[in-house]
């Protein structure tokens, strides 16, 4: 018979996981929405990617579906809790002995690895045989909002929630690094769906940091799903030929800085 104290500990950990993820998601989804769509709406009107605003019904549904995704994340997170509880997850203690250089190096590696994981998992879910089951819910948000960040089908939520446990089993990493990683992930995710282009612009109308994805980059994916699968960086899309050919032109348009060199590309794509 299972120890009642163990069951209580597992339930408590699940609730802690859910509370942490819900707080993080709500804070940034609501915060980005309020700051960009309400407080700074007039200031940023020249950087709004689309003229239309997602309806309140869409936002409410995205929020509720995201809570379901968080419940799945919290359940999958019990895997590492169980491993650690039974002494089968030595990675955090090992990483603590490797000092501050590894602390920050593991964070960078985790972000880079997650971008690769996301690109290939995301691209696979766009296979017609898998799309309706794994990824259709996310693309029902044709005009995304910050609340779209975790609006996943059950299968997609399970796939996305599996990265951290897999990483923790394979790579010695301290838990505070995971906390920073999750903070970076939700910030980039909500801003990527924000509907406003915030990336600084070069003189030629291209993004200042062109190796980073932008809100325009991901907005194009929601508009035309066969392109722009990357999460944080543009390099996988460029290496694999899946970046939208009009991306730079659309970015220049979003920041109201059209470039003569890009205008013909934009005209061919509209």
What local confidence, expressed as pLDDT, does residue 258 receive? Answer: 57
What local confidence, expressed as pLDDT, does residue 269 receive? Answer: 47
What local confidence, expressed as pLDDT, does residue 108 receive? Answer: 98
CA pair distance 202, 257, nearest whole angstrom:
9
Q: pTM for this one?
A: 0.92
- In a 13 Å sphere around the CA of 202, the CA atoms on its Cβ side amount to 9
What local confidence, expressed as pLDDT, does residue 257 receive? Answer: 63
CA pair distance 182, 62, nearest whole angstrom:
20
Average pLDDT for runs of 10 along the chain of length 270: 78 96 97 96 93 94 97 96 94 97 98 98 96 95 95 97 98 98 97 96 92 97 94 98 96 76 48
CA pair distance 73, 81, nearest whole angstrom:
13
What local confidence, expressed as pLDDT, does residue 259 receive? Answer: 52
Q: Structure tokens of 97?
A: 């002995």
Question: What is the widest separation between alpha-carbon atoms in the chain?
Answer: 73
């Amino acid at each position: 018979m299972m120890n009642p104290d163990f069951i209580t500990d597992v339930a408590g950990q699940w609730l802690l996981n859910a509370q942490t993820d819900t707080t993080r998601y709500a804070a940034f989804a609501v915060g980005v929405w309020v700051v960009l769509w309400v407080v700074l709406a007039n200031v940023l009107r020249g950087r709004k990617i689309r003229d239309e605003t997602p309806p309140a019904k869409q936002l409410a549904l995205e929020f509720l579906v995201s809570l379901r995704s968080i419940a799945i994340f919290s359940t999958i997170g019990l895997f590492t809790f169980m491993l650690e509880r039974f002494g089968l997850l030595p990675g955090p203690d090992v990483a603590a002995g490797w000092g501050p250089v590894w602390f920050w190096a593991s964070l960078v590696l985790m972000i880079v690895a997650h971008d690769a994981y996301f690109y290939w998992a995301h691209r696979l879910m766009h296979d017609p045989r898998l799309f309706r089951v794994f990824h259709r819910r996310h693309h029902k948000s044709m005009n995304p909002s910050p609340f779209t960040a975790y609006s996943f089908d059950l299968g997609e939520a399970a796939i996305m929630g599996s990265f951290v446990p897999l990483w923790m089993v394979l790579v010695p990493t301290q838990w505070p690094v995971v906390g920073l990683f999750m903070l970076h992930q939700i910030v980039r995710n909500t801003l990527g769906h924000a509907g406003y282009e915030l990336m600084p612009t070069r003189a030629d109308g291209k993004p200042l940091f062109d190796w980073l994805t932008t809100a325009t980059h991901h907005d194009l994916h929601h508009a035309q799903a066969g392109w722009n699968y990357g999460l944080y960086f543009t390099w996988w899309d460029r290496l694999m030929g899946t970046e939208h050919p009009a991306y730079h032109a659309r970015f220049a348009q979003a920041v109201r800085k059209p470039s003569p060199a890009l205008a013909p590309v934009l005209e061919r794509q509209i």
